[in-house]
A = this chain, B = another copy of it.
Amino acid sequence: MREFLKTKGYKMTPQRELVFRSFFELGEHVSVDELFDRVKRIDKAVGYSTVWRNLKLICEVGLAREVTVGDGVTRYDRVTRKPHGHFYCLNCKSLQEFDLNEIAGRLSKVATAEKFATESFKVEIEGVCQSCRDKENKKAKRTLSTSPKISRTKPSRQK
């Protein structure tokens, strides 16, 4: 990894090494805060900006990619993993994955037809996951009459 970065003009440092390693240990839909938490557990002197910058760097050198689902927090996925889409549960905010093999093929065709040079795909299905629907059904009696209002909440940064 040290050599790989050198070819791209970057130096290796203990902090960088720790951030990279931690990211690849987590691997799926990692947010800066999650990664920061994990890094802190090993070395609590490492700063948030260092984690952030190195996560960006991991993307920059092509080892990860941003995933932006609708909750305002950017997450990162390893690119070595095979193409997949995401189910985003509007209720519990969880992410599940699904395979994208044939769909990716079709998307490529569409892009080519439109003379668009594809860099990456992003396929998301928003809805409600099975376990949330099961829970909803159980307490359906209680909430029959309340009309839904605008939700103004957002998940907050984990301290």
Contact = CB atoms under 8 A, between A and B. Distances in A.
Interface of A: 8-9, 53, 56-57, 60, 66, 68-70, 85, 87, 89-90, 96, 98-99, 102-103, 106-107, 110-111, 114-130, 133, 147-150
- What are the 7 closest A-B residue pairs judged by CB atoms, nearest first? A115-B130, A122-B124, A119-B127, A118-B127, A117-B128, A117-B127, A9-B147
**Chain B CB within 10 A, most for which of A8, A9, A70, A99:** A70
A74 B154 CA distance: 14
12 contacts: A8-B147, A60-B148, A98-B114, A102-B106, A110-B125, A111-B127, A114-B130, A115-B130, A116-B129, A119-B127, A121-B125, A123-B123
Question: Which DSSP category, helix, strand, loop or mixed, fits chain A's interface?
Answer: mixed
